[in-house]
Amino acid sequence: MSAASAPPDVFAEARLGPLRLRNRVVKAATFEGMTRDGLVSDALIEYVTRPARGGVGMTTLAYCAVSSEGRTYRHQIWMRREALPGLRRLTDAVHAEGAAACVQLGHAGWFANPRASGRPAVAPSRVFSPYGMGFPRAADAGELARLRNAYAEAARLAVEAGFDCLEIHMGHGYLLSQFLAPYTNRRRDEYGGSIENRARFPREVARAVRDAVGDRVAVTAKLNMEDGFTRGLTLEEGVEVARMLEADGALDALQLTVGFTGRTPMYLMRGEVPIDEMIAAERSPLRRLGLRLFAPSIVKPYPFEEAFLLPAARRVRAAVRMPLMLLGGVTRLDTMRAAMAEGFEFVAMARALLFDPDLVRHYREGAAESGCTHCNRCMTAMERGGTRCVLRASAA
C-alpha cells in the first residue's frame, strides 16, 4: 500500500464536523449513576474526565434526558438551566485534559419511569411497557412537536454548557429507536408503517438539533443497525435509515450500535450474563421478582468476539460515505488499525476503557489490548455507586 493510500493513523488528529480531535478514539457513553438529584457530581466529573486524561480524543457523558419525563431513573440528568453550572465544570475539566467533550441526548419514551417525573410515559404507540408497568400514551401531533422542541432546547443548553459534540440517541430501544421498530411503532399515520415513515421522526429530531446549534458543534447519532428480535428493526432497514440520515445532511457522523432494552439487552453487551448480580442490583421488588422468574429464560447470552459488530457495520460502510464510528468489542490496537483500513473514521470503546482508562496511552507505549474479560459486571454496578469495572480496585 502506497503512502498516499495508507489508512489514517489511529493516533493522528482527525476532523469531526467543526471539531479537530487529537486522535480517532472515542469513549462511548456508559450510564454513570453518579448524578444525585439529576445534577453533576464531583465523582461524575472524575469519571468522564478520566479517559480524557488517559488519552482519548473525545469522551462522552451518557444519557442526559431532553425533558423530565424522558428519564428512566429519578436521579438522571435532564437538561435544564439548573444543571448548567455542573455541566460547565465537567466540560472545563475535559478540555483541560486536551480532549473534546460529547453529551448524549435522549428520551426514554416507552420505558421511561413515570415515578421518576410524576408524568406518564409517552411513546410512538400504546404498547405495554414492563418498565413503567403500564401503557404509555401514544404521541399525537402536538406531543411530537413538543418533543422535537425539547431536543432542540436541550441541544442549545448543551452548547451553552461547553460541549463540543452532541450525540442524539437513536439506539437501544430509546424513544427514537422505538419509532424505528415495528414492535413499538404501530402507528397508521405518516410516522408508522414503512421504514421511510418510521424514520421520519428521528430524522426530524436530527434536523431540529442541527438547526438549533448550526455549525458551532459536531452533531452525531448513536444509531441502531438492528434490534436483534422479531418485529424489531432489521439490518436492511438500519442500513436504509443510515442512507436517509446521510442524505438529510444534519449529522457529522454515526456511531453504529445494536440491541433493544427490554428485548435484547445482551445483544450489544456480548460476553457473560451476570444474572445473579443483575437481580441483586435491582432496587424495585417487583422487577427483582420478575428477573428471578424470567431472566434466566429470556436474557439470551451472546458470546464475545473481537469487533463483534464489524460484519453489520461493513454493510453500513458500503452504503454511505459519511464518517462512521465502529463500536462493539474493540479491545485490540490491531483491530483499531484494521477498522481504519476498512474505511471507519473512528473507533468507540466502552468496557475496554472502563477496565483501563489509560488504554490509549498504554497503546502508545506498546500495549496490544485491554485486559477487559467481558464479564459485564460493570453494568450491574450502576445501582451500587456508579458504573465501573469491578475487577480493578483502582476503578472502585
d(CA 42, CA 201): 36
CB-CB neighbours of 141 under 10 Å: 9
d(CA 366, CA 289): 47
CB-CB neighbours of 265 under 10 Å: 21
d(CA 251, CA 223): 11
d(CA 96, CA 55): 12
d(CA 303, CA 277): 19
d(CA 292, CA 298): 11
Contacts of 298 (CB under 8 A, 6+ apart): none
d(CA 16, CA 101): 12
Specify the residue for cell string 415513515: 197
225 within 8 A of 238, measured Cβ to Cβ: yes
Per annotation, catalytic residue among 174, 191, 267, 363: 174
**Catalytic residue list contains 174:** yes
The residues assigned a catalytic role are 174
